[in-house]
Amino acid sequence: GNSVTQMEGPVTLSEEAFLTINCTYTATGYPSLFWYVQYPGEGLQLLLKATKADDKGSNKGFEATYRKETTSFHLEKGSVQVSDSAVYFCALNPTAGNTPLVFGKGTRLSVIA
Amino acid sequence: EAEVAQSPRYKITEKSQAVAFWCDPISGHATLYWYRQILGQGPELLVQFQDESVVDDSQLPKDRFSAERLKGVDSTLKIQPAELGDSAMYLCASSLRNNEQFFGPGTRLTVL
């Protein structure tokens, strides 16, 4: 079956620190991979995506590379800000079409000044 | 920028009562999803619509949950009767032809 495993939080970092949130997946076929962010009390916002192996998704200083050989899609940012404090979800879409996303459990990030 | 609308944002109810949530997807998005997000977990699919037809409701507890999208536009999710374990965030998402899903702000349900 399809599943996503991401590192457990919470992760607490000082401002300007380097961020890595690990995500690995299990899927049949060739999934698309996503990172969503959820700010307190809000819905999910798409942060970045990659649709095939070796693609790099990037947005707002965040980036993640689709690694088929290690079935991973780790999220990184070189210098975090207090405003990056949120819950981050790794997700996969098993197909190229309109099928439901499979989410990880989320990782809470807290950035302190 | 077009957004998915949901209402209400918050709902508090007593167990055994009926509740209903509404979702208006981005205009033109034929596919609509309802997800449930339990506190501390990732969202899980309840039901998927393609236009007015149900594509996948295998995870919808049909003894108490129902969902409809009568004209293929907005959608309603109902719970009757609500149970304590239904307390969660209910998220609606929509998508066009590609696989990018856009989420609404969610309805946070608390069952007392």
A-chain residues near B95 (CB < 8 A): 98
Among positive and negative, which fits the CA dihedral B67, B37, B89, B14? positive
Among positive and negative, which fits the CA dihedral A46, A52, A53, A54? negative
| B27 vs A58: CA distance, rounded Å | 27
Each residue's pLDDT tens digit, B67-90: 999 888 999 999 999 999 999 999
3-state SS, residue B12 = strand
Q: Is A6 within 8 Å of A54 (Cβ atoms)?
A: no
Decide if B95 and A98 are in contact by the 8 Å CB cutoff. Answer: yes
The reply to whether B75 touches chain A by the CB within 8 Å rule is no
Each residue's pLDDT tens digit, A41-56: 888 999 999 999 999 9
Among positive and negative, which fits the CA dihedral B80, B89, B31, A2? negative
- Return the pLDDT at A42: 84
Decide if A89 and B42 are in contact by the 8 Å CB cutoff. Answer: yes
Decide if A100 and B97 are in contact by the 8 Å CB cutoff. Answer: no
Q: What band does A99 get if pLDDT is binned at 50, 70 and 90?
A: confident
Residue B45: which of A49, A97, A100 has the nearest Cβ? A100
Q: Please classify residue A109 by burial: count the beta carbons closer than 10 Å to its beta carbon, then call 0-12 exposed, 13-18 middle and 19+ buried.
A: buried
Residue B42: which of A45, A49, A105 has the nearest Cβ? A105
Helical segments of B1-112, H only: none
B-chain residues near A88 (CB < 8 A): none
Each residue's pLDDT tens digit, A6-20: 988 899 999 999 999
